[in-house]
Structure 1
């Protein structure tokens, strides 16, 4: 029970006690007045007053007083002189209280509270009228207030005991309820829960990814600042509304029934391409809602582009460092042997080869990132003891606006790396291991072809399965991503992918990307 509840209970109890005391006084006064009226009509009382003889009524009055539990029954004449009193010594003396005038002078019957000879009392007073209608005396019946308060005090003690029992019972129930409530909020105190809520609000507002959550009925319960910026909505306009009403393209409510988490889901919402992760919320084995985090696909693509470039630069530098280290060791040995002409010839040969490759790429490939990846892979091939042959007829001039250079880098990089792996794992002589690359933008399509003389396509895996995420012929973990990513890029451009084995001793991967941004059906041809 809260403090306010205890205060309210005490106020109600005191109010009840005061009301009971007042009601008891009123009830006692009414009873006293009734008895007084009864006695005022008694012939015996009339004769006692007329003859001024107290003995006529003493025994009867005392018997009646004891029977009704009154503190006193006093009969007085018209001058207010007592003819009866519980204490016989006070008979014949004036009545106390100064409250007889309304009865003796005005002939009224009433209830009053006054101080008498026995103490403060509530009394009922009524005039005694003779047969001629004259007021000849007064009857006063009273109950001491101390006796009335004594009755009320018993009730007040009972009330206090009940209050104590109610408070104790409520304390036990509150303790049980508090523990159950704490278990429901993982043992946190209300202050801690409030602090965690504020921390969550601040965290959600500062992270760059958009985050939304719904309850089990599909109503939007939270949305952070980034999500509002991405969807171009205001939080107050969409919160507590149905998710499928405010953002119908999100489809987040579907996982409430499927109960299947989704990762890296690509979708279009309000004309924007996003990549989302969606997960259901389960409490006590019950689905209570779902959460989705997402980012604009353009941002992810930009990060992928930057990462791809950094990786290619890293591979190029590592390959060049390794290759130059070998060349320097050779040059150092030739100098020690005094073979200066051979040193000059080796330096000239190396410079000529490298300059020829750079000049060719500069003239044939106008996209710097694609030329860079080919240069880097060429150095990587030399490091691995392979040959990367770039077809002399290759050409790639300006790309159409809808085709991104970093997507072509992803396709070429995956194909070339797979070719390297295939050659290394094959039984082909090391001097004959070769990966060939051809790029052409003649006609209406961009054609990229990568061929190797390695081990060919895996026989234990269906070719249609190779493009699925997580499927790989390699034994290492976290593989089976490259071809799946390539396939998604090709689908995006409505292109065509062809995979074929060459006499079971090699693989040819060919990609056709239309230059026109057409909406034709996606194709996958696997031979």
Structure 2
């Protein structure tokens, strides 16, 4: 019971309802009081105007002027004044001489007695309007002069209405004022009930303290979570984005209320997030990041509120996964090479045991020379150790798949021009796609890597760029597929059981854009590499010595 009686614990709807009723009641009381005072003032002014008009009408009557010159004016004036009093619903009509002597009065016993009140202004030819207490009590009265034909003041006429009569007339208006106030209060209460019910539904019956506490907790949770959280309304506009979401999506200060496709996000990502379907652990790329995106509709009691989108940053994880895949491929290639080396060693030993020493020597020399040529070429042309190791690993991997990886003899990539992680992302993904394409053709199956440094003209002048180019003998690309090659989700692979299709080249494009570089693709190259040609140009931050 104590909790219910404490207004601080009421729901917000009931507090608003109570406050509205109090405000309306105060306004109505103040308005009623003001209306009553105005009505009283208006009644007083209208009464003064009425008695003044009656007094002037009586003073202008010829019978009154004529009677004032007779020896006994009361004989004519008393009946006339009483008739006027009854006809005009006034309380007294007094005709008097200039010496205040009454010639008429509602109380005949007072005739001949002096008039009580102010008459100086009327004797001077003016008008007296006043509230005065006479023989009949307080009254609103007017005193006007009676003029002869010559214009001199020969008498006075006073007409009045008692304050009691004015009050009774005013009291007749009070019920109407009270009725209007009651109607207004009823309408206000009905409106307040409707507002309170709507507010109760919207606030779910919670009080201000509970709403404030809930907002504080929810706001703290939204900004504390490590995942990006985005709320969209049914029209796909951003309603809420926590700090992590604004960081991951690079949202500007004016993001609220805008659609995702208006914020500069990639079209595939904006399309997947604003659609009506549920998205689970989808990989999407922005200009600088690889994001894992989940989208689910937000519903409340069967009503569609919009959608909830969560974002997780997998940029570093994706890069590490690429490096791990390269290292795993290199390990697999080394394991395979070890197996092949064991087979060759057994062959050499067998030839020696058979007494064919010269053939054993020739066999071992040819195998060693072939492997050493590639190693010498890579080490001599590529000073960047990460790139050299990647090329050797990819060469072994390609050899396992029946593809020959060649390094252009003119290749020259100095050390330290590019971040090692970006080199692995760009070259590793380009070589993987080229090896896949070459392996799908009957032969010859070859992939070539070229790299060099050149000068490029930009808006800021001449700058050095590293050019990384990969060609293959695969089936090539049409103009349409070449234009979409670096789009997230594009892939030539048809095995849907393999995850990650369409991500490698998209990561290459993302890395190039992040480093202010460019990516070009030609659907067909020149013999002896008629397949696709991918060229990446990345600016370097250091001066290159030649």
Aligned length: 366
1:402/1:155 CA distance change after superposition, 3 Å: farther
Q: Is the 8 A contact 2:97 2:154 kept in 1?
A: yes
| Alignment match, 1:97 | 117
Alpha-carbon shift at residue 248 of structure 1 (Å): 3.4
2:198 counterpart of 1:180 = yes
Distance 1:240 1:514, change over 3 A: farther
d(CA) in 2 for partners of 1:233 and 1:400?
38
Higher RCO structure (Cα 8 Å, ≥6 apart):
2
Aligned-partner SS, 1:179: helix
What are the ranges of 5 or more consecutive residues in structure 1 without an aligned counterpart? 309-364, 374-387, 406-438, 450-488, 499-511
1:524 aligned residue: 493
On the 8 A contact 2:278/2:297 being kept in 1, the answer is: yes
Q: CA deviation at 1:87?
A: 1.5
Structure 1 residue 186: Cα displacement: 3.0
| Runs of 5+ unmatched residues, structure 2 | 1-19, 343-374, 403-427, 438-445, 450-467, 471-484, 496-546
1:94 partner SS: coil
Give the conservation status (yes or no) of the 8 Å contact 2:283–2:291.
yes
User: Structure 1 residues 104, 393: closer, same or farther in 2, change over 3 A?
Assistant: farther
1:124 aligns with 2:142: yes
CA distance in 2, matches of 1:199, 1:250: 35
Confirm or deny that 1:84 pairs with 2:104. Answer: yes
1:28 aligns with 2:47: yes
> Aligned residue for 1:468?
none
Tell me the equivalent position of 2:433.
494
Partner of 1:60 in structure 2? 80
1:203 paired with 2:221, answer yes
Aligned CA-pair RMSD: 4.4
CA distance in 1, matches of 2:80, 2:147: 20
Answering whether residue 267 of structure 2 is matched by residue 267 of structure 1, we say: no
Q: What does residue 293 of structure 2 align with?
A: 276
2:31 aligned residue: 12
Contact map agreement 2:260 2:274 (CA 8 A) in 1: no
**CA distance 1:153–1:400, shift in 2 (3 Å):** farther
Aligned equivalents of 1:441, 1:255: Cα separation in 2: 35
Q: How far off its partner does 1:70 sit?
A: 0.8
SS at match of 1:146: helix
Decide whether aligned partners of structure 1 residues 296 and 447 sit closer, same or farther in structure 2, where only a CA change above 3 A counts. farther
Question: Paired residue for 2:91, among 44, 62, 71?
Answer: 71
Kindly indicate whether the alpha-carbon contact (under 8 Å) linking 2:145 and 2:156 is maintained by their aligned counterparts in 1.
yes
Q: Is the 8 A contact 1:111 1:123 kept in 2?
A: yes
Contact 1:121 1:144 in 2 (8 A): yes
Q: By how many angstroms is 1:21 displaced?
A: 1.1
Change in CA separation of 1:250 and 1:170 when aligned onto 2, cut-off 3 Å: farther
User: Where do 1:411-450 residues align within 5 Å?
Assistant: 441-443=394-396, 445=398
Q: Name the stretch that deviates more: 221-230 or 237-246.
A: 237-246
**2:452 aligned partner:** none
TM-score scaled by structure 2?
Answer: 0.56
Q: 1:85·1:91 contact (CA, 8 Å) conserved in 2? A: yes
1:12, distance to aligned residue in structure 2 (A): 2.2
CA offset at residue 491 of structure 1?
11
Aligned to 2:453: none
Take 2:220 and 2:178, find their aligned partners in 1: how far apart are those partners? 50
Residue 191 and residue 144 in structure 1: after superposition, are their counterparts in 2 closer, same or farther (change >3 A)?
A: farther
1:65 deviation in Å? 1.0
User: What's the offset of the Cα at 1:276?
Assistant: 1.2
2:11 equivalent in structure 1? none
Q: What is the rounded CA distance, in whole Å, between the counterparts of 1:446 and 1:146 in structure 2?
A: 122
Question: How many angstroms apart in 2 are the aligned matches of 1:88 and 1:403?
Answer: 137
TM-score, with length taken from structure 1 = 0.58
Query: Matches of 1:393 and 1:9 in 2, distance apart?
Result: 102
- Within 1, Cα distance between the matches of 2:296 and 2:387? 33
Aligned equivalents of 1:402, 1:97: Cα separation in 2: 121
Separation in 1, partners of 2:40, 2:387: 93
CA drift of 1:239 comes to 2.0
- Quote the residue 1:227 is aligned against: 245
Query: Where do residues 42-61 of structure 1 align in structure 2 (5 Å cutoff)?
Result: 42-51=61-70, 52-61=72-81
Contact kept? 1:113, 1:121, Cα under 8 Å? yes
**CA-CA distance at 1:40 after TM superposition:** 0.4
Q: For 1:121-200, what aligned pairs fall within 5 Å after superposition? A: 121-200=139-218
CA distances 1:24-69 after superposition (whole Å, capped 9, x unpaired): 1111111111111111012222233222421212122112212221
